[in-house]
Every structure is written in C-alpha cells, then in structure tokens.
C-alpha cells in the first residue's frame, strides 16, 4: 500500500520548490496530501497542488466537506510521515508553542506520525535567537529538521536559509521509510494502526489491539518511545540531592533538595544511551535502573567522588544542592543544651562545579544548576562565567511549581555566549530529557560563523565555546 505523506506548505518564496517535491514524490509512488497556510496561498493556488497531487488540498479548518469525519483529524491520521516544506519562522514558532490557529498548525498538533521540517527564510531570520530557541525546543521534542542550505537567498542576502533541495528532501524521506534514518513521533499513538483499520470498516480482533514491543532492530521505529541513543558511548556523571554537614553525632546542616531533578537527569541520560554514574546525597528515592550509584553525605565527600571521575566523564551535570558551608569543627559528642546562645563557626566547602569547570577538557560538557530567588538570569550568567561551566540550568525557586520538593520545574537554560533557552513548566522527568536534548541539539548545530554571523569583539565564538577553547582558568574571575 502506498505511503501517505502529509505535506505542509507555508508562505515563503521556496513554495515553488514544494511543487516539484510533490511531483518527485508522486513519481516514487507516494500519496501526497497537501495542507497549505493562507500565506502559502498568496504565492501559489491550491489548484496547482491539487492537480499535482490528485488529492484535495486543505487550508481552512472550518471547511468540513465530509460530514462523516472531522477534516483536521482525518488528515492527520492519514499521515505515515509529515513533512513541512518550506517551513516559515512563523509555523516553527507556532508548533513550538502549541498554537493551532489555522489548518496546518492544527493538523501538526493532531498528527501522530514523525515530522520532518525544512526551514526556509532569510539568513537573519534564521539566526534570530527566538527562531534558534524554537528549533532547539522542537529538536528536543523529537522533530527532525532538514537543515537549510547556504547560498544566495531570494531576498538578496547570501547565507544559511535556503530550503533544502526537493531531491535531498526525497532522499531523507526514502531513508526514513527504508529504516536508514530512525525517527520517532514527537506525539505518538500506539493504537493508530488499529484505528485506521477500524475506520476502513474492519473489525479488529482484541489480540491486535495489544501493542507488541518492537523486535530489536526492527526497521520501523516504535510509536511508543524514542529509540535513538544520542549519548551512546558517553560517560555522564550526575550529582543529586542535598548534602549533610554534621554539627555533632546527631545534628546536621542540610537543605530542602529532594534529589528528584538529579535522579531524573541520571535516568534520562541512561535512557539516551549513556553510561551513568549518579553521585548522590541522602534521598528517599529508588536508584534509576542501569545507573551506577555512589552515596555520599558531606559536600567534601561529594567533591572527592566527583574528582575521582574527573578524567573519565564526557558530561558532568551538577544537580545536587551542595552546602556552601560546613561547621569548622564537628563535635565528637552531642552538644548539650546550655540555655545560652550558641555560635557555630562555618567555613566554605570545596566548590565542585568550579573545580570541574575550570579544569575541564575540550570534549567535556559541564552543566551546572542555579536555584535563585531573584534576578535569575543575571545570577545564572555570572555563575556560568565564574565556574567555567558550559551551561547553567536556572530556576526561580520561589515560583509555584518550580524548585525543591515539587514534581514539576520551570527552567531557563543559559548556554554558550550567554544565549537563553527558556523551557516551559514540565514534570522533572520530561524536563530532564528536554535539557539533555536541547544541549545535544545545540552541539549538533553548525557553528554560528556558518550562518554568516559576525563576532562581537572580545566575545568567544560559539565554535570556540563548543570546543572548550580558552575556557580553562581564564574564564574564572
């Protein structure tokens, strides 16, 4: 049976290339259903796509020609693969934020197939931090981007932003259907196949409704899970939980960290294929499966355990809430109540993030956390520089649903060149994977210079940041 490609077409000059894309796909035997935005219709008529595809073209979510169904759901359900080409900055932003205000954006939320997106826009639009943040967010959610080419653009500029050529898009589509390119849906529905059979009038036996786990190495990726392992072959060290600084044999200084974020990060890194070492302070959490756990109490024990791993890790994620101070003296006997005021002398604990960040090797990625109560971004940017970290995950712990002892968190990532990547409120499990995938997406992006970017004098390039050049020592003030 022919595969169905749902082709989203938006309002950019590169629309003319989508016409030949439809023609190439039809020649290879695909069914192509085109969904156009109003912007796209200003460039070419739906009649052209209808003639090329031999299918009805959709653009108005309220045009319900078939009373037996709802068009945007039926169209979404037909797709074996969704391709948006060209994808404007506008449709990318809408998808990143879940906006459904026309036929295409609505279908994109309803679709459960994998999605390929071919951005096309002016070089400055493509480089804009908002567009880059949306691309990173969507990549982290599992959308597959077909990188724009560099070259002369219709707007007169030369740079990155030209839509990938139709032949190369067809190649990516064929790679996907032949199993060479493994993609998972950002929004999977394991029962889609069953629903399709029922829609076709078939009575589906219960046995078929049980979704079997895919055989290892099966060509078609599971609809249930992302099967890629972008951290495979890498060693990830995560710290988690609070530390306890003993005052005497029964008392200690500690904080309200539950360890959930660090444990979720360790589990996510493992899921994404890494060998994971979790160095944890005292928590009540079960250790994540497949992760090596090192238990510590005091900040200096955590520091020593991290330093032992310093040479071998590829990623270090410092999610523990490490005490900044410890009592200068730990009393051997329980301090007796005297009724008088008691003064405790506290001294600083070793700075784990700084000691790792300042000595890190070029291939190592160092991620710190900043739990703040005010001026979150400014504090996080300063911390990133001071400690020599690549990334700081910052959150405002006074915000509802964020910070300690809650199931959710809202953070902003501060990355190389102080770029900001705000992430929405999410469960700590989802957030953990999103943080890792966002950083990976950033690392796999071509250097900024490729986009024709000019460097502010005195600023390190993203390239240098990525290679870790010039970070050691000099960055810590």
Among 22, 25, 40, 412, binds ligand FMN (CB under 6 A): 40
Q: Which is nearer to ligand FMN, 13 or 285 (CB)?
A: 13
| Given 99, 155, 194, 304, the catalytic residue | 155
Question: b/e for 244-255, b at 16 or more Cβ within 10 A?
Answer: bbebeeeebbeb
Instruction: Choose, by CB under 6 A, the member of 37, 106, 139, 461 that binds ligand FMN.
Output: 37
The binder of ligand FMN chosen from 84, 116, 121, 318 (CB under 6 A): 121
**Interface pattern 13-32 for ligand FMN (x via CB under 6 A):** xx------------------
**Residue 121 or 146 with smaller CB distance to ligand FMN:** 121
Say which residues have a Cβ less than 8 Å from residue 88's Cβ, sequence separation at least 6: 10, 11, 12, 37, 39, 120, 121
CB of 104 to ligand FMN, least distance (A): 7
Which region among 7-15, 169-177, 307-315, 388-396 touches ligand FMN (by CB under 6 A)?
7-15
Exactly one of 6, 7, 8, 10 binds ligand FMN (CB under 6 A); that residue is 10
Nearest approach, Cβ of residue 301 and ligand FMN (Å): 53
| Contacts (Cβ under 8 Å, ≥6 apart) of 142 | 114, 183, 184, 185, 186, 226
Q: Please select the residue that binds ligand FMN; options are 16, 26, 39, 251, rule is CB under 6 A.
A: 39
Nearer to ligand FMN, 90 or 323 (CB): 90
Closest residue to ligand FMN in the complex (CB): 39
Closest CA to 123 of 163, 157, 85, 165: 157
When the beta carbons of 127 and 410 are compared against ligand FMN, the nearer one is: 127
Binding positions for ligand FMN, 63-92, rule CB under 6 A: 88-91
Written as six digits, the tokens of 220 are 């078609």
> For ligand FMN, which stretch binds (CB under 6 A), given 118-126, 304-312, 326-334, 426-434?
118-126
Closest CA to 368 of 359, 378, 357: 357
Residue 135 as a binder of ligand FMN (CB under 6 A): the answer is no
Could you tell me which stretch among 11-19, 284-292, 374-382, 433-441 binds ligand FMN (CB under 6 A)?
11-19
Contact 282, 323 (CB under 8 A): no
Nearer to ligand FMN, 139 or 323 (CB): 139
Residue written as token pair 């060479």: 180
# binding residues, ligand FMN (CB under 6 A): 15
Cβ of residue 376: shortest distance to ligand FMN, in angstroms?
31
Closest separation between CB of residue 96 and ligand FMN, Å? 13
Of the candidates 80, 87, 61, the one whose C-alpha atom is nearest the C-alpha of residue 9 is 87
* Closer of 120 and 426 to ligand FMN (Cβ): 120
Which of 14, 435 has the CB closer to ligand FMN? 14
Q: Is 155 among the catalytic positions?
A: yes
- Between 12 and 416, CB nearer to ligand FMN: 12
What are the Cα distances from residue 340, in Å, to 146, 203, 253, 343? 70, 81, 20, 10
Q: Which of residues 375-404 bind ligand FMN (CB under 6 A)?
A: none
Select from 4-12, 248-256, 317-325, 395-403 the region that touches ligand FMN (CB under 6 A).
Answer: 4-12
By CB under 6 A, tell whether 120 contacts ligand FMN.
yes
Residue closer to ligand FMN (CB basis): 90 or 349: 90
Of 81, 79, 32, the residue nearest 54 (C-alpha): 32
Q: Taking the complex as a whole, how short is the minimal distance between the CB of residue 45 and ligand FMN, in angstroms?
A: 15
Is residue 131 within 8 Å of 92, Cβ to Cβ? yes
Nearest approach in angstroms of CB 147 to ligand FMN is 15
Whole-angstrom Cα Rg for the chain: 26
Residues 93 to 112 in contact with ligand FMN, rule: CB under 6 A: none
Smallest separation (angstroms) from ligand FMN to the CB of 102: 6
Residues listed for the chain: 477
Task: Please report how close the Cβ of residue 101 comes to ligand FMN at its closest, in angstroms.
Answer: 9
Q: How far is the CB of 121 from ligand FMN (least distance, A)?
A: 3
* Positions in the binding site for ligand FMN (CB under 6 A): 10-14, 37, 39-40, 88-91, 120-121, 125
**Catalytic residue list:** 155
């Amino acid at each position: 049976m022919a595969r169905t490609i749902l082709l989203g077409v938006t309002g950019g000059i590169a629309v003319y290339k989508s016409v030949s894309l439809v023609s190439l796909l039809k020649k290879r035997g695909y069914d192509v259903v085109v969904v156009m935005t109003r912007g796209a219709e200003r460039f070419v008529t739906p009649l052209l796509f209808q003639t090329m595809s031999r299918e009805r073209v959709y653009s108005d979510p309220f045009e319900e020609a078939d009373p037996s169904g709802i068009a945007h759901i039926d169209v979404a359900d037909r797709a074996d693969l969704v391709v948006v080409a060209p994808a404007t900055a506008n449709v990318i932003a809408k998808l990143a934020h879940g906006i459904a205000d026309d036929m295409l954006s609505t279908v994109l939320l309803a679709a459960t197939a994998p999605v390929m997106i071919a951005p096309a826009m002016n070089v400055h639009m493509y480089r804009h931090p908002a567009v880059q943040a949306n691309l990173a967010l969507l990549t982290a959610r599992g959308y597959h981007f077909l990188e724009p080419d560099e070259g002369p653009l219709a707007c007169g500029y030369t740079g990155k932003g030209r839509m990938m050529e139709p032949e190369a898009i067809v190649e990516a589509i064929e790679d996907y259907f032949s199993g060479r390119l493994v993609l998972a849906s950002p929004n999977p529905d394991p029962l889609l196949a069953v629903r399709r059979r029922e829609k076709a009038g078939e009575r589906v036996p219960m046995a078929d409704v049980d979704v079997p786990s895919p055989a290892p190495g099966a060509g078609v990726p599971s609809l249930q899970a992302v099967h890629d392992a972008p951290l495979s072959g890498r060693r990830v060290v995560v710290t988690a939980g609070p530390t306890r600084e003993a005052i005497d044999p029964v008392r200690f200084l500690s904080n309200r960290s539950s360890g959930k974020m660090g444990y979720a990060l360790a589990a996510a890194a493992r899921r994404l294929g890494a060998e994971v070492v979790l160095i944890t302070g005292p928590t009540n959490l079960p250790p994540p499966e497949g992760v090596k756990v090192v238990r510590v109490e005091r900040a200096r024990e955590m520091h020593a355990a991290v330093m032992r791993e310093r040479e071998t890790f590829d990623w270090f994620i410092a999610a523990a809430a490490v005490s900044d101070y410890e009592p200068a003296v730990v009393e051997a006997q329980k301090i007796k109540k005297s009724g008088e005021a008691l003064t405790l002398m506290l001294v600083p604990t070793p700075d784990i993030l700084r000691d790792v960040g300042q000595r890190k090797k070029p291939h190592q990625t160092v991620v710190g956390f900043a739990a703040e109560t005010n001026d979150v971004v400014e504090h996080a940017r300063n911390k990133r520089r001071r400690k020599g970290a690549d990334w700081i995950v910052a959150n405002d712990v006074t915000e509802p649903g964020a910070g300690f002892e809650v199931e959710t968190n809202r953070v902003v990532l501060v990355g190389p060149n102080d770029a900001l990547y705000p992430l929405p409120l999410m469960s700590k499990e989802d957030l953990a994977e999103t943080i890792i995938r966002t950083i990976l997406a950033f690392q796999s992006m071509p250097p900024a210079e490729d986009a024709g970017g000019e460097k502010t004098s005195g600023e390190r390039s993203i390239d240098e940041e990525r290679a870790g050049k010039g970070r050691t020592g000099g960055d810590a003030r």
